[in-house]
Structure 1
Amino acid sequence: MPTNAQWFKGNTHTHTTNSDGDTPPEAVARWYKSHGYRFLVLSDHNVFTNPATLASLMDSTFLLVPGEEVTTSFQSASVHVNALEISRLIPAPKGGSLVETVQNTIDAIRAEGAVPHINHPNFRWSLDTAVLWRVKNDRLLEIHNGHPTVHNEGGGETPGMEDAWDALLTRGKRLYGIAVDDAHHFQGEFAPERANPGRGWVVVQATTLNGRALVEALDAGRFYASSGPVLEAITITESQLSIRITRQGDFKYTTEFVGANGRVLAVNKSLTPQYTLQGDEMYVRARVIDSAGRVAWVQPVFTTRYVERQP
């Protein structure tokens, strides 16, 4: 990245009264702006909310990136794919199978020059790793979603989203992990059983607060995702992955460096964890866990041993 690159905190998945949220778009945007977010995607279901209608909220500190949660289904499975940096409504497609329905949605988003990310695969247990593996031309997958009914941790025979991510990476699918809050509830009580804001976000490295620059950086994996921890810097060289953690209050941190099949390669408990590549890894990613159990996810570093495969 250029030396003038900055970190921009944002959320790519939230809802308003334009679909199934409880608060109008302007008030939703004001919540994020007042809580230090630099950009926001209003991603209502099959609705395009034009940021131009909220131009008074945007300035050098805050940007609305146009988006939509393209929402369809196949039989009992829900297919929800966010479209980032759109210029118009993208009609939700159908397909003759679940894989075809997901693929048609991805293709429709790409055809508009927009960037897709697949939302909450375990919602209604809709998209398993067999389906996700067969989808092409996608790079972004929600591994953490703050909605209380999406089953981030999996259950029964279905893996959690981090395990699914590692399974796909290990098989040869290059994916980057997104965290979002998928907020619907800004009114009344903030409680675990409600879909409140502030539970997941991304921090994107880009040279400017510009919608195209932000979504291209996301699509290229130049970001980290978090449900709490703040990272000051991530440095990647040919031989090392280094992180600087910003300590918040008296929290303590444990960083796990994770490789193929989700195997933990090393553990570090400092504020400046480092991992030196040994030469036999396919990829290495990092998971920073704070003493409240919240996590920041650093995107995988792919080594020369990594072979990207197509289904």
Structure 2
Amino acid sequence: MKACDKMFSEEGSWFKGNLHSHTVNSDGRLTPAQSASYYREHGYSFLCLSEHDYYTDLREELDRDDFIILPGLEASTYLITSDDFSNVFDAETLNRGYCDMTFQELMAFRNKNFHFCLKKAHHIHGILGTKEMQKTADADAFTTNQLYPIRVYLNQWNGIAAAQTLSDNLKKKGCFTTYNHPVWSRVDIEDVNGLQGIWAIECYNYDTVNECAEGEDTVFFDTMLRHGTDISCFASDDNHNGGTFQDSFGGFVMVKSEKLDHESIVANLLKGNYYSSNGAVITQWGFRNGEIYVDCENAERVNFICGGNIGSSRTVMMENNIPLQHVSIPLTGLEQYVRIEVKNTLGQTAWTNPIVF
């Protein structure tokens, strides 16, 4: 994103949404209708039903004046390893080095009496884009209730090529793409560094934060930014609603939009007119008179994370137990980029997207 005086538009209203969720159409426990009602009742305005490797478009059934569905899916590719695949794959597959499965076939394969290791994964969202993006896709665009094949690599892969191919193919179908939970997925930075055309990386995944403490990640985000990748971030739930812990209402995006409809919400996401959060609030931020600033609510600390030289980043903390509402710092002009994290007095965080200089 390029720097401007006010990074959020002055016109429009704030709409809260979850971009990562699962229902009974993959491995969740709620029906799509139950999930939509659940989120609407808790103050959400939009929800992406991102089933595993299964594209759905339930706008006609679930959209309301005050709540909309963003069609999409969470597509996958995996690296699995074993000392001997010869008893489960034919010679042609072994020679090729990969096979394609459906989500159900992969689950059945995992339940076989056969030892293998699920070493790495790329989970990449395809979310239905703007009308122009859909028009460009034309005949290749997704149709509703469409299974998407999972490519499973045997013993070795080119991680960056696998991710790039998956993202590119989803974009050809009229979607914009996200890269999800890299820490949980066990990828190395070499598997993602240099990815092109990914809209955002998941900086906070509420489900895996609770499941295994592997859902909060900005290291991949910053490393990709430092290497020149043009990428934003987003927070989400990745809710399944069936475990021993709560996985709804913990990660979300707040989008500034003139209207609550698919075209407006998606357009404002793509141009960065939003912030990510697990509870903290940002009302405005920007760059003016050589300073980066943020307006926020009840902050205990504000982190200004800067790309560039060691020591470029700074943290401002509240004093005398007086929460911060407005914070600014001067920039040196040597920063590669800057992004902001606001941590409130309840320990919750909000993340801006990066301004790139």
The bucket for the TM-score relative to the shorter chain is 0.7 to 0.9
- The answer to whether the 8 Å contact 2:15/2:257 transfers is yes
Shift, 1:216, TM fit: 3.2
Over 3 Å counting, the alpha-carbon distance change for 1:2 and 1:224 in structure 2 is closer
CA distance in 2, matches of 1:7, 1:277: 29
CA separation of 1:6/1:240 partners in 2, compared to 1, >3 Å: closer, same or farther?
farther
Offset of residue 278 of structure 1: 2.6
- For 1:118-267, list aligned pairs within 5 A: 118-125=179-186, 127-147=187-207, 148-149=210-211, 151-152=213-214, 161-185=217-241, 194=245, 196-237=247-288, 239-247=290-298, 252-260=299-307, 263-267=312-316
Instruction: Give the aligned length.
Output: 285
Q: How far is 1:34 from its partner?
A: 0.9
1:37 to 29, 37, 44: 44
In the alignment, which residue of structure 1 is the partner of 2:148? 91
Q: Which residue of the partner structure matches residue 344 of structure 2?
A: 290
Distance of 1:109 and 1:237 partners within structure 2: 38
**Corresponding residue for 1:49?**
56
TM-score, normalised relative to structure 2: 0.73
Question: Aligned partners of 1:28, 1:239: CA distance in 2, in Å?
Answer: 45
Check the 8 A contact 1:42/1:67 in 2, yes or no. yes
Structure 2 residue runs of 5 or longer lacking an equivalent are: 1-7, 81-118, 130-141, 319-323
Q: Kindly indicate whether structure 1 or structure 2 has the higher relative contact order, using CA contacts under 8 Å at least 6 residues apart.
A: 2
Provide the aligned C-alpha RMSD in A: 2.4
Separation in 1, partners of 2:212, 2:196: 23
* Conservation of the 8 A alpha-carbon contact between 1:13 and 1:43: yes
Structure 2 residue identity aligned to 1:69: E
23-32 or 164-173: bigger deviation: 164-173
**Separation of aligned partners in 2, 1:238 and 1:300:** 18
- Cα distance in 2 for partners of 1:264, 1:16 equals 40
SS in 1 for 2:54: coil
TM-score by length of 1: 0.83
C-alpha spacing 1:150/1:238, structure 2 compared with 1 (3 Å): farther
Q: Deviations over 1:195-254 (max 9, x none)?
A: 51011011123332222332233233332110110222234446333322234xxxx521
| Distance change >3 Å, CA 238–CA 21, structure 1 → 2 | farther
Do 2:343 and 2:349's aligned partners in 1 also have CA atoms closer than 8 Å? yes
Partner in structure 1 of residue 33 of structure 2: 26
Aligned counterparts of 2:55 and 2:271: Cα–Cα separation in 1 = 25
Unaligned runs of 5+ residues in structure 1 are 154-159, 304-311
The residue aligned with 1:58 is 64
